[in-house]
Structure 1
Amino acid sequence: MNTCIEIIPSYHVAYIRRKGPYGSENSKIMEQLKSWVREKNLFNEGSIIFGIAQDNPKFTEPKNCRYDACLVVSEEFKIDDKYINLGKIIGGEYCIFKISHTADAIQKAWMEIFDELSKRNYQFDDKRPILERYTIQMINKHFCEICVPIL
């Protein structure tokens, strides 16, 4: 897997949250966010979108798992939509896995990332969620990144 280490800054985000089992429904909430972003004319070459699985289904009942589709916004950003929330992503050191933006590649990566961390002697920081990161440049080339917080 193509990996690197990166310090990701803390970000303010506008997000839509879905609660329920992780899976294909997450992509629907991501499409809903993208529609809102396009409607508000917020999508540009510098846009960063995150998908965040907030809970580990090993410890949280699937019906209670939270998934956030997020757009990085400025600290001063104001929302005018009852379905959009404001929040913050806590930055820090991450191991970045660049993968093909397909359901199969993402699923395979999720099954392999912890073994890869171990091989590289990195320790997972379970106090921060794993991030799926998307930029226009990566989406146009059919890639995304899984950003795993490390200590």
Structure 2
Amino acid sequence: MILKTEYIAPCSMAYIRHTGPYGPGNIETMEHLKHWAKSRDLMNGHSVILGIAQDNPQIIPPETCRYDACILLPDGYSGSGSGGNSGRNSGGSSDTEKEVHLGSITGGKYGVFTIDHTAEAVKQAWEEVFQQLFKENYIPDSSRPILERYKAELIEQHLCELCIPIL
């Protein structure tokens, strides 16, 4: 894997949160977000989607792990039509609007790994990225979340990125 460093600028996003074990629920949440974004013309060739695992399942009980499926919002997006303050995806709600929340990424320096967009490649990357960061003298910044980044132009090439915040 090739490591590059990148400054990711602070940005606004819309997100849907899934609470529970990581896996199929994350995929369902991501599809729910894409449907919401398409209905608001937010999906295009410049769209950037993020997956943010908020908790370490080796430390936090799986049933309380949080996963945010996010889409970066264009400058000036008003957010009309989104709502709710619970920050949680109930999974069975028929009122999508209450599940979509607005938030932001603080930005900063990241170690970025471009990988194949397959379950096997992502799993392998998670096993190797920290070793490679340490090998190249980078220290992860645990105060910011790790981002799985899906840029439209990379998805077309069956690629995605793991972005690890670094000091």
Same fold (TM over 0.5): yes
Amino acid at match of 1:60: I
- Partner of residue 136, structure 1: 152
In 2, Cα distance between the equivalents of 1:144 and 1:136? 9
Alignment-mate amino acid for residue 148 of structure 2: E
Report the count of equivalent residues. 151
Is 1:41 aligned to 2:57, yes or no?
no
Per-residue Cα deviation, 1:88-145 (whole angstroms, up to 9, x for no partner): 1110000000000001100111111111111111101000110000111001000000
Aligned to 2:58, the other structure's residue is in SS state: coil
What's the counterpart of residue 60 of structure 2?
60
Indicate the structure (1 or 2) with the bigger Cα radius of gyration. 2
Give the TM-score of the pair, scaled to structure 2. Answer: 0.86
Deviation at 1:76, TM superposition (A): 4.0
Q: 1:75 to 1:53 in 2, by over 3 A?
A: farther
More strand by share: 1
- 2:88 corresponds in structure 1 to none
- Which of 97, 119, 126 is matched with 2:142 structurally? 126
8 Å CA contact 1:54, 1:66 repeated in 2 = yes
Q: TM-score, normalized by length of structure 1?
A: 0.95
Instruction: Say if 2:46 and 2:153, in contact at 8 Å, map to a contact too.
Output: no
CA distance in 1, matches of 2:141, 2:17: 23
CA offsets per residue over residues 20-65 of structure 1, 9 Å max, x none?
1112321111111111111221111221110000111222211111
Pairing 1:88–2:104 present = yes
Q: Give structure 2 stretches of 5+ with no counterpart.
A: 82-96
C-alpha separation in 1, matches of 2:76 and 2:127: 35
- In the alignment, does 2:115 pair up with 1:114? no
Partner of 2:32: 32
Query: For residue 78 of structure 1, what is the aligned residue in structure 2?
Result: 79
Q: Report the equivalent of 2:4.
A: 4
- Code of the residue aligned with 2:56 in structure 1: it is N
Distance 2:78 2:54 in 1: 23
Conserved? CA contact 1:12–1:75, under 8 Å: no
CA RMSD of aligned residues (A): 1.2
Q: Which runs of 5+ in 1 are unaligned?
A: none
